[in-house]
A and B are shown apart, each in its own frame.
Chain A
Amino acid sequence: MSSVDTTTNAGQLLATASGGRRRRGDRIFSNTAVIAAVTILALLVGVAAFLVSEGLPALTASASELPKGESFIDYVAPLAFGTVLAGVLAMVIAVPLAVAVALFITHIAPQRIALTLGFFVDLLAAIPSIIYGLWGIFVLGPAAVPVMKWLEEKLGWIPIFEGPASITGRTMLVVGLVLAVMILPIVSAVAREVFSQTPRKLQEGAQALGATRWEVIRTTVLPFGKSSVISGGMLGLGRALGETMAVAIILSVSGGVSFNLISQSNPSTIAANIALNFPESSGLAINLLIATGLVLFAITLATNFIARMIIARSNVQ
């Protein structure tokens, strides 16, 4: 009697012990994983919530209460304009070059050089933005001065080159060029990825029909990669819109709205404006800057969202 009891007890004990431990271990581990996942969502909600809560005082304040004596919309609109102008300029310069870089690496350069080049381009994506800023102000800016002078003289009838050309090189055009250099590795990484995945049989089919290399690229590679290139460009645009230090260092700012790319007076960008003014601000001025940060957040979010939508749609096909 007692022995039977002991065995059953022991058996039960064993079963619950091992089973329980196993389940407990699994439970703890999977719960930790879920907590990590939820933490990330909470973090993102937190970013939005704290920006809104700290930006709200500036959003609700009347124009006279704000440090600049103008309403929030009047304050942020030229900045948003400058942000979009710099970002779009960078994208327009970077995307064609990035496509060329990607095509060169995937289809033109010899295979062995191509791998090294790919690694090199990836490495460039990791260069800190402050260094691009220093390079822009000390190297590219001065080098661009004579070119901008030339643009003013010869192409001054186009409004964007109206001038008067800056003598320091701290212009929107230089900012656009630097931002283009910065986003080029990102855009070309996306393009390279998809170009190298173009189905071999399509390319070989085109070759078998006697197509030249360009005809192969035009008829198979480019149509295959088109949507990815567009979304890569949008990702680059998102990066350029949020870029802070390079713009803060290079651009000579005067406020206002102007399409003139080569003059000394330029609209600032949201991010650069925050970096330049935040350290010396206090009180409502801080809230105002945080509110502009919220606008920047919304703009980049929308840009990235569109990019992801394009990717998702192209994946379905």
Chain B
Amino acid sequence: MTPPPADTAALSTRSVLAGEGSGGGTLPDWAPYGAFGGALVFCAAVLAALGWFTIALMLVFGCLVAIVAIYAWSRPVEGPRRAKDRAITMAIVAAFGVAMAPLISLLYEVVVRGAKGISWEFFTSDARGVVGGGGAEHAIVGTLIITGVAAVISVPIGIMAAIYMNEYGRGPLRRALTFFVDVMTGIPSIVAGLFAYALFELFFGPGIRMGVMGSIALTVLMIPIVIRSAEEVLKIVPNHLREASYALGTPKWKTITKVVLPTAFAGLVTGVMIATARIIGETAPLLVTTGVVDSLNTNPFSGRMQNLAVYAYNEYRSPGVMKQASYDRAWAAALTLIAIVMILNVIARLVYRRYKTEIR
């Protein structure tokens, strides 16, 4: 047993045994809520009186005042230690609220603003030759093609590499791989885009733009995510399954393909879907590789290809004559993108629940 930290020991002897720290009484159950509500009202009144009222300032000062208030209220009744506990619990909950607020606001704004731009036309027509209008069909198709090609390249390489790391690898290559996959996770997406551009520029000359370039850039970002998740899943396949298979005289490759992979199947599918969801909204690498275009292009090997993220950026960046309509389309693209991401994540979770092999 490791000895308890010195702090705890000090705490035990000094304060707890001496009975110090509890003032005897307790605050009512509603005390934290009351303190918080009171603080908000107080701050709103004071700020309004001073003429500085904004919701942001009210919340920030409200939280601070609430923390002080609960401490001041609890200390004479419950003693300094309980008071400190209450104050810090209040601070943590407040910080949690502060952290969640922007995320909830973001989801709300995307849904509300995006809904305005969503129409039948948005999904079924492109924007060729249309001034200040048109849809995003070309961007949606482009997104699916670019991401699809990236997934087709990344998934086999990623899963085979994970198999290597988990089933075969030992020695320097394995260690190097573990390390460099970590490094790869940290590559900024724009750098991946520049890499794809530099690679293709070498063969096709400057100014080249193609759908497949975007896929290559996304591959750099997707492979490490696939490897990480696949490795995680392969690791939890129990060894006795492999040993049972070897005992029957099954060769190693068949053990892997017929025993290990099927056991890990649900986890692998989930990992791939989550990785796809992570790269499908990438903007920066596609901005420098696939370019911007108004018409539908289904051939990833020739010419520019639009995608949803770049479409949203472009509608914001260079709005047409009708500014608001452009912004609406940008938000509609954002909503479509978020819907795809969420659907992929939720399906991934359902697949995992439904098909995961019970491992004991």
Contacts A131-B106, A244-B188 hold; do A40 and B283 have CB atoms under 8 A apart? no
Interface secondary structure of B, over-half rule: helix
Instruction: List chain A residues, Cβ under 8 A from B248.
Output: none
Q: A40-B180, A100-B95, A104-B92 are in contact. List 12 more A-B contacts (CB 8 A).
A: A25-B251, A41-B177, A41-B180, A47-B192, A126-B345, A209-B8, A214-B84, A242-B190, A274-B288, A275-B190, A278-B287, A279-B291
Chain A 14-55 residues near chain B, CB threshold 8 A: 22, 25-26, 28-30, 32-41, 43-44, 46-47, 50-51, 53-54
B181 at the interface (CB under 8 A from A): yes
| Residue B239 is within 8 A (CB to CB) of chain A in the complex | no
**B271 located at the interface, meaning its Cβ lies under 8 Å from any Cβ of chain A in the complex:** no
Question: Shortest Cβ distance from B228 into chain A, in angstroms?
Answer: 12
Cross-chain contact A131 with B337 (CB below 8 angstroms): yes
Interface residue A128 (Cβ < 8 Å from any Cβ of B): yes
B195: contacting residue among A50, A128, A135, A275, CB under 8 A: A50
29 residue pairs from A and B, CB less than 8 Å apart: A33-B160, A33-B161, A36-B158, A37-B161, A37-B174, A40-B180, A40-B227, A43-B220, A47-B187, A47-B192, A50-B202, A97-B99, A119-B349, A123-B345, A124-B103, A134-B312, A139-B109, A150-B52, A201-B1, A202-B2, A202-B4, A206-B8, A209-B12, A209-B16, A211-B11, A213-B85, A220-B5, A244-B189, A279-B287
| Interface bin, chain B | 35 or more
B173 touching A34, Cβ below 8 Å:
yes
**Segment of B23-31, B125-133, B164-172, B295-303 in the binding face:** B164-172
Cβ contact within 8 Å between A44 and B180? yes
> Which one of A3-11, A66-74, A160-168, A297-305 is at the B interface?
A297-305
**CA–CA, A36 and B154, complex, Å:** 10
The answer to whether B283 touches A308 (Cβ under 8 A) is no
Complex CA gap A209/B5 in Å reads 12
Closest to B173 in A: A37
Check A238 for interface membership: any CB of B closer than 8 A: yes
Give the residues from 237 to 260 in chain A that come closer than 8 angstroms, CB to CB, to chain B. 238-239, 241-245, 248-249
- Residues from 177 to 193 in B contacting A, C-beta threshold 8 Å: 177, 179-192
Q: Is A157's beta carbon under 8 Å from chain B?
A: no
Is B281 within 8 A of A131, CB to CB?
Answer: yes
Cβ distance A156 to chain B, nearest Cβ, rounded Å: 15
A300 touches B57 (CB 8 A): no
Q: Which of A35, A138, A177, A241 contacts B109 (CB 8 A)?
A: A138
B157 near A300 with CB under 8 A, answer: no
Q: Pick from A36, A103, A282: contact of B160, CB below 8 A.
A: A36
Nearest A residue to B78 via CB reads: A212
Please determine whether A131 and B338 come into contact, CB atoms closer than 8 angstroms: yes
Interface residues of A (CB under 8 A from B): 22, 25-26, 28-30, 32-41, 43-44, 46-47, 50-51, 53-54, 96-98, 100-101, 103-104, 108, 119, 123-124, 126-135, 137-140, 143-144, 146-147, 150, 177, 181, 184, 188, 201-202, 205-206, 209-215, 218-220, 223, 235, 238-239, 241-245, 248-249, 271, 274-275, 278-279, 282-283, 286, 289-290, 293, 296-297, 300-301, 303-305, 308
Answer yes or no: B252 CB below 8 A from chain A CBs. yes
- 6 smallest A-B Cβ distances: which pairs? A128-B281, A242-B188, A100-B95, A36-B160, A29-B253, A304-B186
With a CB–CB cut-off of 8 A, which chain B residues contact A127? 106, 281, 338, 341
Within B78-102, the residues touching A (CB, 8 Å) are 81-82, 84-85, 88-89, 91-93, 95-96, 98-100, 102
CB distance from B35 to the nearest CB of A (A): 16
